[in-house]
Structure 1
């Protein structure tokens, strides 16, 4: 089975499941696709008792796809650029300091809190895991997933000011979270005998983060200048595509953060000033529609893949228990990690009531966490942390995703009453 056929099957499944969701379930796309794919995979498991053909085919597809590489090195750049392109730049500019604090201080605080608490819990479950590996799990599960967040918040009725905070945080903390994960991963890979040079860690972190943002600014500026010099919507759409593909290749070659580069470039190209001075009305429509289509297509394929990843899980009883316990632990740690930044900026920026509660429940985990968990080695207890991550992600997208709208309405009602 070649790659073209695998992609064809994935697109066919995404189209079929998407149709079923829109026609019958009417759930948000990300939630509907995940639910249907999980049910489909469970159905394949049931059928395998009589005939293993379907199960063997699904397993083959999953084993042929390096989920971590496909998502982090290819799909993520397109998805983040598309998300940033349609983010309200003016609102984000107003909320830039809390967004920066959430995506840096918040991620780092959450990483350590989750790492410490999960280390203690795993010890109680007789799972003797080194603290550095628990910290690694904290790093991969702490960033909220912009792909999941963007799709669900659009239908949740979240106030614009708060939506900007959650979306902006998700766009940036994704890039920061990946860098934090890679830094801790490098330390963990050294083992007990290796020496950790603090300056090397600082240089790596600075190179990835600052280098990624600088590359994004350069790409956005070049794209803007090129688009301003012509008036041809076909070529201008292709210019944005070239910026994403070329920028990702450059970032990977020079070990810069491609996610942060794409977010920065997308925000720059998508802001109103650039739009009005570089794009005609026709170009603006075509650029927006092109990237909306890319966003929808890759999202549908991604969440079909997430559902199919059930096949690579090692479902031991203790692993499942650890995953279920991890759900409230991660929510509490996220709530705690946001307390300081929210308290600091609350009065200055007139925050929506119960911002922390909504940001905690609306901060969804998704494919990025699963991709990072799949990148762990067996020495880092990959099977254990993959099961925990999968349980947290499924709960996050399905349960939190379906109820965040109700939470927002409840908070709004209570505020009006008060």
Structure 2
């Protein structure tokens, strides 16, 4: 029997790979095709030779404790807290009040709609369904948003809402499930329900922050031991999730059990690791992490969606009985989603606390609300024997909720997911802005410029013949010239857009150089994050059409989230984020090094083919003048630091220089071993000798 389970698991994974390739060629959303194939596997599994497919099935424990933490971490790891903060009002409105509006509307409207067609379904069942179906699934739709060109901010709002409303939905689901199983006690149940809901929410946030910073510190302690670093990132998701559940089982206050949301805790901990812990990882591990978790997310989603198809076809409730409730549920759910979007975001626009959200964006948020894995998880957590007084149907409460839930999921996947591109195009959301069009043409020119440079090197290294070189050079030169010609024909006066592109290009160049400096070990994490934050702020300013920067010491307001994070750091006795004199010296020294490099490259643009791409001389001069002024200001600060801390910095530079030399020794030794110039035995001997010499 165990062999059949494993055979089924790996067969489903193999089928998923085939489905993925088919989806890529047919340009059909991957998750949609998975569910369809999952449904088609049911008749196949009735053939004796393929009966083993049914051996592996979704269980509440497998989904909840194994799959769900992976999906949460994979989605939350790459979200920038800074971007989230900038849109926190919209995200919070959709994830909490919006979620509650949708849940209660679906619950109340569903109760009356089902009664209208002769289904006497208790309101607690429809409320439970409302909580289950109101959570949106980021995995199923975000790839579509990106493929079809949804604006970055709209994608971020949807992703933030999808992640946080998972926790909100599950919290209120548990409240309604408790009432379903143990009965409703009037105002006491209502009061306890709201109290438990907010405790789950805010308790989960605080516990997630704690776990995130603890694991970030653990990663810092084991830095250099790559296997331990990877193991800790794997543990942070599941350990936070399971520990939250265990702790919640034992917290009792005034006779009341207090539960924290394991989903919210895992989400917050994952975001802390993604925004703070990643800087503590070794260079190789940091680059590997995204591929590592992307793979786990791919496998998990593949299994969940393909098994979802199997789950629906196996329902005990007859389709002819369930079809009308499913169709009506779909309509009610769509109305509930609309009510959770338009009024709340309309009010937010009136307050002018954030950038306005376009009505066309609201349409897409309403239509693009796909449902997925969490809804299935919540359905499976309903006990099979759950019942209510007066429930006389042949099918159970769980069967009914499962049928209408899976029906709604099918509708969102088969209808909404396949039409998102057309809806976006009809709303004009996928239309390129003027800046994006300029970036498109000049981006193509930059690509062909790099290709021409590579082609030149290939010819110099005698890897291609002269005839091949000339043929390919002429071909790519024509493409390069065509891109610039199309740009000039469409934008004859685009000086402002060209300067914007130039500034962002230079900031990207600075980011790349900064990362190299950090990975060489020339600066520590605090200095790296401070400079990176400054570059991110400048990039955000330019994208919004504001001035880039006035001076390097410009002060920026500290938001509430950052104050909370700083408070947690102090609570955990973590190091202060304020730069010490030696760190401040490194900060100015690194900034000066980067600024001087940028000035040199900008001044040399006129003598390269890039000068033709960034062809606005005035924009180039203004950018050079800005960076020269910043470099001059930085040099003054650096000179003052050296003058006032001469002895301290002299000793520090001696130690710092020695560290650089030690690192170079180890790097050279690693290369000698990797290239098999020295044996493993000699590598160990030299490694231990060099390590002893550093002490």
Q: In 2 relative to 1, CA 20–311 (structure 1 residues): closer, same or farther, beyond 3 Å? A: closer
Give the superposition deviation at 1:52.
5.6
In structure 1, distance between residues paired with 2:212 and 2:414: 35
Q: Deviations over 1:103-125 (max 9, x none)?
A: 11011100111111111111111
Deviation at 1:74, TM superposition (A): 2.2
Match of 1:248 in 2: 241
The alpha-carbon distance between structure 1 residues 11 and 57, as it changes in their structure 2 partners (threshold 3 A), is closer
Distance (Å, rounded) in 2 between the aligned partners of 1:209 and 1:320: 36
Match of 1:409 among 384, 404, 425: 425
Cα distance, 1:157 vs structure 2: 2.1
**CA displacement at 1:280 relative to structure 2:** 4.1
Verify: 1:117 aligned to 2:106, yes or no. Answer: no
Shift of 1:35: 2.0
Distance 1:231 1:393, change over 3 A: same
Asked if 1:394 corresponds to 2:398, the answer is no
Q: Which has the higher contact order (CA 8 A, sep 6+)?
A: 1
Q: Which residue of 1 aligns with 2:295?
A: 293
User: 1 CA distance for matches of 2:359 and 2:431?
Assistant: 7
**Residues 245, 295 of structure 1: alpha-carbon distance in 2 compared, 3 angstrom cutoff:** same
Residues 182-234 of structure 1, C-alpha deviation per residue, up to 9 Å, x if partnerless?
Answer: 10111122236788444432442233222211121112111222223423333
Question: How far off is 1:318 after superposition?
Answer: 3.1
Give the length in aligned residue pairs. 405
2:345 is aligned to 342
Map residues 18-417 of structure 1 onto 2, 5 A cutoff.
18-23=17-22, 24-41=25-42, 43-44=43-44, 48=46, 51=47, 54=50, 57-62=52-57, 65-66=58-59, 68-191=60-183, 196-229=188-221, 230-255=223-248, 256-271=260-275, 274-275=277-278, 277-313=279-315, 314-346=317-349, 347=352, 348-377=354-383, 378-379=386-387, 381-412=397-428
Task: Give per-residue Cα distances to partners, 1:107-162, cap 9 Å, x unaligned.
Answer: 11001111111111111111111112111111111111233234443323221100
Distance 1:198 1:245, change over 3 A: same
CA distance in 2 between partners of 1:414 and 1:237 (Å): 38
**CA–CA distance in structure 1, aligned partners of residues 405 and 261 of structure 2:** 23
Two-structure CA RMSD over aligned residues (Å) = 2.5
Taking a change above 3 Å as real, the CA distance of residues 120 and 203 of structure 1, as seen in their structure-2 partners, is closer
What is the distance in 2 between the residues matched to 1:336 and 1:111?
11
Gaps in structure 2 of 5+ consecutive residues? 249-259, 389-396, 434-695
**Distance of 1:7 and 1:116 partners within structure 2:** 44
- Does the 8 Å CA contact 1:217/1:265 hold for their aligned counterparts? yes
Corresponding residue of 2:526? none
Task: Quote how far apart the aligned CAs of 1:350 are.
Answer: 2.6
In structure 2, distance between residues paired with 1:413 and 1:365: 22
Aligned to 1:27, what secondary structure does the other structure show? coil
Separation (CA, whole Å) in 1 of partners of 2:237 and 2:364: 32
Q: Which runs of 5+ in 1 are unaligned?
A: none
Q: Matched residues in 1 for 2:414 and 2:282: separation?
A: 40
> What is the alpha-carbon distance in structure 2 between the residues aligned to residue 327 and residue 258 of structure 1?
29
Q: Distance in 1 between matches of 2:297 and 2:49?
A: 32
TM-score relative to the length of structure 1: 0.89
What is the TM-score when the length of structure 2 is the normalising length?
Answer: 0.55
Identify the residue that residue 252 of structure 2 maps to in structure 1.
none
Question: How has the CA–CA distance of structure 1 residues 5 and 52 changed in structure 2, closer, same or farther, with 3 Å as cutoff?
Answer: closer
By how many angstroms is 1:342 displaced?
Answer: 0.6
Distance in 1 between residues matched to 2:69 and 2:216, nearest whole Å: 18
Q: Give the stretch that moved more between structures: 151-160 or 127-136.
A: 151-160
> Would the aligned equivalents of 2:329 and 2:404 in 1 still touch at CA under 8 Å?
yes
* 2:257 corresponding residue in structure 1: none
Larger radius of gyration: 2
Structure 1 contact 162–352 (Cα < 8 Å) conserved:
no
- In the TM superposition, residue 292 of structure 1 has moved relative to its aligned partner by 0.9
Which shifted more, 148-157 or 95-104?
Answer: 148-157
Distance 1:358 1:85 in 2: 25
Decide whether aligned partners of structure 1 residues 40 and 111 sit closer, same or farther in structure 2, where only a CA change above 3 A counts.
same
Please report how far the alpha carbon of residue 405 of structure 1 lies from its aligned counterpart in structure 2 after TM superposition. Answer: 2.3
Secondary structure of 1:254's counterpart equals helix
Q: Residues of 2 paired with 1:29 and 1:113: CA distance?
A: 31
